[in-house]
Structure 1
Amino acid sequence: MGIGNIFRAFQPKDKVFFVLFNKVADNLVEMSKEFHDGMMEFDLNDDSLLKRMSDYEHKLDDLTHEIFVQLGENFITPFDREDINMLTSGLDDIADYIYASAKYIYLYKSPQTAAYSEFSLLIYKACLEVQKAVVNLDGFKNPGVVKEACIKINSIENIADDVLSQAIVKLFETNDPINIIKVKSVLDYLEIVTDKAEDVANTIDNILIKYA
């Protein structure tokens, strides 16, 4: 390996990682927006929403794989490798559970409930804050903006917990065991999405504490 190649191998690759993180965050916003729109105009006989969620999930899997490839190829990273691993996995989990939520709505032929659209709006808002946090994490130039976004994500997760509790109370009042099983399963997946967003916020918070 020539001197030039050795020098380049040890140059910081911040741009590579943050470009990929931003792409992931952008796709999560698009995915969650389409999911919310789909819940607002839900048609159980039209599975095009499920196909779009699957496409997004595959696209985000590819981006996740690319980040891990870069992690293996680059000696110098913008922050700790373990934190990059956790952030990457956390972002991917958000996409996985959005897709899982959509999948089980269609597999169970679950009737639409008001809670589905409430959750989908919270998920979209959480993804917008994730995007804001990721964009402003680059270079640690705007730690206050990142911190504020993380706080909002935590608040959204708390609201989601309340939505879940209220939805389950109403669900049990239906006295329909089969429907209760189906809908509760979907509600659990939807609530997990907000949990995963909170995990991402906590990871970003820890990165800020170490480096900002």
Structure 2
Amino acid sequence: MLLVTSRDTGRWVIPKGNFANTTPPHAAAAQEAEEEAGVLGSVCPTPIGSFRYRKRKGSGASLMADVEVFPLSVSRELDDWKEKGERERRWFTLADAAKAVDEPDLRDLIRSFNATEFNQAARRPGMLSFVAEKSKVGPMFAWFQRLLPKTGNFFELFEAHAVATVAAGDAMGRLVQGGPTLHENAREIFERENDADQIIREVLKTVRETFLTPFDRSAITALVGAMDNAIDEMQAAASAIELYEVKDFSQEMKDMAAIIVDSARVVSEAMPLLRDVGKNGGRLHELTERLVRMEGHADVIHSAGLKAAFQAHRKGDAIQFVVQREIFKHLERIVDAFEDVANVIDGIVIDHS
């Protein structure tokens, strides 16, 4: 997690500030992150929570302020930014970031963002590193496959698919920013989808060959199927963007892509928790609840984006509206697939906790 120092006291804080009523809160948060920390990326319009702190005004009064927090997936760090000479920025582990801030509510919020078990799983030697690579991902799968126990290990496969999904989601977030790297980001989505296809084939093969499975066989196939639907739709969206040579993306498309980035992150945290559903049932429910909430938020954004596109092209270029509607359709299906993942996880928790 990236923190910055405050200008007055030098304590570690997150970028924040006031915003005009005409600016969406998450957009204002992204602007503050650029000005105060010099970072750009996809900001999810669904907040992860809020905290309160006491802010000293110019008059000398010390008043309580409520802060809504939005996750921003950093894709670029600027060498120069507005408040570079006034603040220090530094990357922390989540545990160290929680210790560094003074506000108790913010500390709890940072801790709740933790995906420690997933990170530990991703660092296991010979386990998931092949899909964590940004290049040469294809040839590594055969090596990974040989390391799997003959009895099958579904949890490692779930987590491997989650790594591919997170990487594809991050690429999707960068893709809708446009620019000269558009084709590179589309290509990464295609490669990650290929990794996911190989993983799901291994899951289905292992389901057939394994006598005792950790969950009902239908739940296993439904879970990995829903995850695979999400990354398949990412590939479909990237293909449509390349086919129609889309270079400019509306704010609603960027917001939906940011929801996709955060949804993939949430799924990646949930996968290792399935190793002990009884112990982790509460946290799994929190994560699935966030996925469902983001899907509802995405529906609102999708409707607003379609309406804006229709109004912009109703008397002009109908083809342009059809293209934008196609992109929105794929973005909506990606988020819907993540909601399906949440529903399957909830079913597993009900059956096994």
Say which of 317, 326, 338 aligns to 1:185: 326
**Preserved contact between residue 86 and residue 203 of structure 1 (Cα < 8 Å):** yes
TM-score by length of 2: 0.54
1:124 equivalent in structure 2: 261
Alignment match, 1:148:
286
SS of 1:121's equivalent in the other structure is helix
> What is the aligned residue count?
199
Residues in 2 aligned to 1:28 and 1:198: alpha-carbon distance in whole angstroms: 14
| Contact 1:172/1:180, CA 8 A, preserved across alignment | yes
Q: What per-residue deviation string (whole Å, max 9, x for no partner) do you get for residues 95-145 of structure 1? A: 000111111011112232222211110001111111122121112121111
The match for 1:28 among 165, 181, 204 is: 165
Give the aligned residue type for 2:231: A
| Residues 19/75 of structure 1: CA separation in 2 closer, same or farther (3 Å cut) | same
Per the TM alignment, residue 46 of structure 1 is displaced from its structure 2 partner at its CA by: 4.6
User: Which among 161, 166, 175 is matched to residue 38 of structure 1?
Assistant: 175
Q: Are residues 1:96 and 2:232 paired?
A: yes
**Contact kept in structure 1, 2:152 and 2:210, CA below 8 Å:** no
Query: 1:8: which partner in 2?
Result: none
Select the structure of larger CA radius of gyration.
2
**1:112 to 1:96, Cα distance in 2 relative to 1, 3 A:** same
Q: 1:17 is matched with which residue: 137, 150, 154?
A: 154
Cα distance in 1 between the residues matched to 2:282 and 2:330: 31
Q: Do residues 200 (structure 1) and 338 (structure 2) align?
A: no
CA distance, structure 2, for counterparts of residue 149 and residue 14 of structure 1: 30
Match of 1:77 in 2: 213
AA aligned opposite 2:212:
I
Q: Which has the higher contact order (CA 8 A, sep 6+)?
A: 1
Unaligned runs of 5+ in 1: 1-12
Structure 1 residue 160 corresponds to structure 2 residue 291: no
Q: Counterpart amino acid of 1:26?
A: V
Choose between structure 1 and 2: higher strand proportion. Answer: 2
Partner of 2:188: 52
Aligned to 1:3: none
1:44 and 1:115, CA in 2 relative to 1: closer, same or farther beyond 3 A? farther
What is the identity, as a one-letter code, of the residue corresponding to 1:116? M
